[in-house]
């Protein structure tokens, strides 16, 4: 997996910020599992809540709870204001 410029783990984005998924940084197993749940590159992801050990995220139209380690593995970019994909 190559490193993306300007991408940060979803974990550090903060609540309510709209982001776009650019890649998954983890084992192939993890990457596959997350992709099957809808975490595919380009999809819009945002954090709704933080329980202190897991994030509640919106991905497309679904809502997921993700443990911190998985939230670390998701690399996202914050689109500049006004720009679309």
Partner 1 sequence: MTTVEMFINQAPFRYPSPIETELSHLAELFAQTPALAVYPPRWLAIQALEGDESLLNDIRELGGPAVAAALDASLERLHEIYGDDLDVALVDQRYRFVHTIAAQAVRRPVEAPVTLSDRIDRVVTHRWLGIPIFLAVMWVVFKLTTDVAAPFVDWLDGVLSGPVSRWTVALLAMVGADGGWVESLLVDGVIAGVGGVLAFVPVLLSLYFALALLEDSGYMARAAFVMDRLMRTLGLHGKSFLPMIVGFGCSVPAIYATRTLDSRRDRILTGLLVPFMSCSARLPVYVLIAMVFFPTSAGQVIFGLYLTGIVVAVGMGALLRQTLFRRQPQAPFVLELPPYRMPTLRGVWRQMWERTSSFVRKAGTIILATSIVVWLLLAIPIGEGSFAETPVDQSAFAAVANAATPVFAPLGFGRWETSGALVTGLIAKEVVVGTLMQVYGSAAEESSTPGDEPATLADDLTSIVNGFGEAIGAALRALPGIVGINLVHAEEEPVVEGLAAAIRTGFAASSGGHSTLAALAFMVFVLLYTPCVAALAANRHEFGTSWMLVSLLGQFAIAWLAAFVVFQGGVLLGMQG
Chain residues 33-72 in contact with partner 1, contact rule CB under 8 A: 33-38, 40-43, 48-54, 56, 62-67, 69-70
Size of the site for partner 1 (CB under 8 A): 32
Q: Where are the beta strands (DSSP E) in the chain?
A: 8-9, 18-24, 44-50, 54-59, 62-67, 74-77
Instruction: Name the one range near partner 1 by CB under 8 A: 5-13, 30-38, 75-83.
Output: 30-38
* Nearest-angstrom CA–CA distance, 76 and 41: 9
Give the angle 25-76-20 at the CA atoms, nearest 5°: 130
* Nearest-angstrom CA–CA distance, 80 and 85: 10
Closer Cβ to partner 1, 36 or 80, answer by number:
36
Closer Cβ to partner 1, 17 or 37, answer by number:
37
Binding residues for partner 1, per CB under 8 A? 1, 24, 28, 30-38, 40-43, 48-54, 56, 62-67, 69-70
């Amino acid at each position: 997996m190559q490193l993306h410029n300007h991408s940060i783990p979803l974990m550090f984005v903060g609540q309510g910020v709209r982001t776009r998924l650019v890649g998954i940084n983890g084992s192939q197993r993890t990457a596959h599992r997350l992709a099957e749940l809808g975490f595919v590159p380009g999809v819009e992801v945002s954090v709704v809540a933080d329980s202190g050990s897991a994030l509640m995220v919106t991905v497309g139209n679904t809502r997921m709870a993700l443990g911190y380690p998985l939230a670390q593995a998701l690399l996202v970019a914050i689109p500049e204001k006004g720009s679309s994909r």
